[in-house]
């Protein structure tokens, strides 16, 4: 008989904003503005966060992942609820220490199996993994079956994005100050992507945000040609950027009717900044 696993995901996945993901437990990160701390989504939702970023551009936020005590408390509650174990899906281990922190916290709970899965991603691909895992466990799938399915998603997705400002990447250590200063001086906007190991890397650069978004769409179209994919947008409250990208897709005769749009949680937005837009896909397993 298979063990009964409950699924937990970190707040980088933004499952709070996805109806199909309601009910999945979340390890909530903390957003820090000066001396004020907010639990992601519970105390500070995405629209409020990005509004605050726009109104107070000199007050940059920082983030911290959930405390070890809350992790242990969650595991104990799941144990009391009748689960044999927790299947925890985290943001890419190359981007955060959360993955290892969950492993350490699992040692504090007796007679309860904690499996920690590195999504090597964030945002919607991570959320998709959590939804699939929950559904499969509820249908009686084994741990091995779930991991095999998630491995396919992890290895067959790609996310490309363009930021509207480099300030947040610089302030939060994702881009060196020297590189950032030169890029800002030249008004260069990088097109970034999530690499196979989960790292954020630069693909190309453009002179304006609009040109970076066009490059993003062109790269997406090149990659998905001949593939059966689930396409999606991610953004930090940038409806205009999505509309512009949609138009470029339509110009290239790409069917946009089934592209889903997802908000980036403040925990991710604190690094990417307002105005960020991404376009990605998950290959559909035949």
Closest residue by Cα to residue 193 from 121, 260, 140: 121
**What pLDDT score does 169 carry?**
67
How many C-beta atoms surround the C-beta of residue 197 within 10 A? 12
Q: Would you state the pLDDT for residue 180?
A: 40
The tens digit of pLDDT for each residue in 51-63 reads 888 887 777 788 9
Residue 74 CA to residue 79 CA, distance in Å, equals: 9
Both tokens of 235, joined, read 């953004």
Q: Hey, CA dihedral for 88, 92, 93, 95, is it positive or negative?
A: negative
Pairing of strands 5-10, 25-27: parallel
What pLDDT, on the 0 to 100 scale, is given for residue 171?
63
Tell me what pLDDT residue 96 has: 93
pLDDT confidence of residue 1: 64
Q: What confidence score (pLDDT) does residue 181 get?
A: 43
CATH label, 157-283, candidates 3.30.1180.10, 3.30.465.10, 3.40.50.720, 3.10.150.10: 3.30.1180.10
Q: In what order do the strands lie in the sheet with 85-90?
A: 25-27, 5-10, 85-90, 113-118
- pLDDT value at position 81? 97
Assess contact for 163 and 276: CB atoms under 8 A: yes
Overall CATH class of domain 5-29+65-155: alpha beta
Strands 36-39 and 85-90: unpaired
User: Which residues make beta-bridge pairs with 86?
Assistant: 6, 114
Instruction: Name the residue ranges covered by the structural domains of the chain.
Output: 5-29+65-155, 157-283
pLDDT < 50: residue spans in the chain: 174-183, 185-186
Relative to beta strand 277-283, strand 229-235 is antiparallel
């Amino acid at each position: 008989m298979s063990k009964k696993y409950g699924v937990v995901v970190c707040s980088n996945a933004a499952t709070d904003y996805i109806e199909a993901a309601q009910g999945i437990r979340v390890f909530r990160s903390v957003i820090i503005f000066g001396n004020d701390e907010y639990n992601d989504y519970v105390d500070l939702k995405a629209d409020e966060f990005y509004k605050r970023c726009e109104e107070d551009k000199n007050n940059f936020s920082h983030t911290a992942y959930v405390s070890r005590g809350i992790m242990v408390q969650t595991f104990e509650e799941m144990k009391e609820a009748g689960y044999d174990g927790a299947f925890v899906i985290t943001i890419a281990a190359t981007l955060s220490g959360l993955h290892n922190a969950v492993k350490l916290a699992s040692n504090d709970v007796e007679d309860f199996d904690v499996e920690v899965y590195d999504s090597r991603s964030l945002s919607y691909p991570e959320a998709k993994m959590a939804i699939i895992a929950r559904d499969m466990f509820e249908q009686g799938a084994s741990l091995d079956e779930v991991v095999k399915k998630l491995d396919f998603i992890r290895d067959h997705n790609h996310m490309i994005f363009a930021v509207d400002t480099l300030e947040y990447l610089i302030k939060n250590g994702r881009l060196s100050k020297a590189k950032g200063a030169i890029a800002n001086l030249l008004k260069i906007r990088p097109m970034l992507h999530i690499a196979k190991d989960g790292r954020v890397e630069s693909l190309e650069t453009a002179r304006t945000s609009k040109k970076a978004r066009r490059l993003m769409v062109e790269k997406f179209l090149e990659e998905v040609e001949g593939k059966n994919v689930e396409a999606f947008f991610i953004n930090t409250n940038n409806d205009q950027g999505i509309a512009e990208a949609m138009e470029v897709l339509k110009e290239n005769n790409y069917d946009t009717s089934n592209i889903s749009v997802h908000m980036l949680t403040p925990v991710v937005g604190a690094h990417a900044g307002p105005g960020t837009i991404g376009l990605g896909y998950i290959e559909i397993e035949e």
